[in-house]
Amino acid sequence: MTKRELVMRIAKETGLNQQDVYAVVQKTLDYIVESLVRGEKVEFRNFGVFEVQERKARIGRNPNHPSQVVTIPQRRVVKFKPGRIMRRDITKTAR
């Protein structure tokens, strides 16, 4: 699902116009990113938790030239942990 598909679906179900729904969805995403940039955890009950983690610097190998050593620098990554209800619903449909 794309952002546009989400906006269209919400607009259709609520009767709101697409521009207003788009503005709310975009502002929500902007605030989530702002919080993650500040290193804060973003938690939506029953949906999941977004948090930033530091990955340590490490040594890797170039797959095209395995003898060549490559230094992979330290970096920040976003981790998502699904909430209980999401995890339950996804595992239920996988069976």
For residue 76, the domain's CATH number is 4.10.520.10
Domain count, the chain: 1
Structural domain boundaries, residue 71:
3-94
| Residue 92 phi, psi dihedral angles, 5° rounding | -65, -40
Q: In the predicted model, what is the mean pLDDT of residues 42-47?
A: 94
Q: What is the dihedral of CA 43, 89, 21, 30, to 10 degrees?
A: 30
Angle at which helices 18-37 and 3-14 pack, to 10 degrees? 130
Cα 11 to Cα 68: distance, rounded to the nearest angstrom:
53
Q: Once rounded to an integer, what is the mean pLDDT over residues 31-45?
A: 96
Per-residue pLDDT at 92: 87
Q: Please report the pLDDT score of residue 81 as a whole number.
A: 96
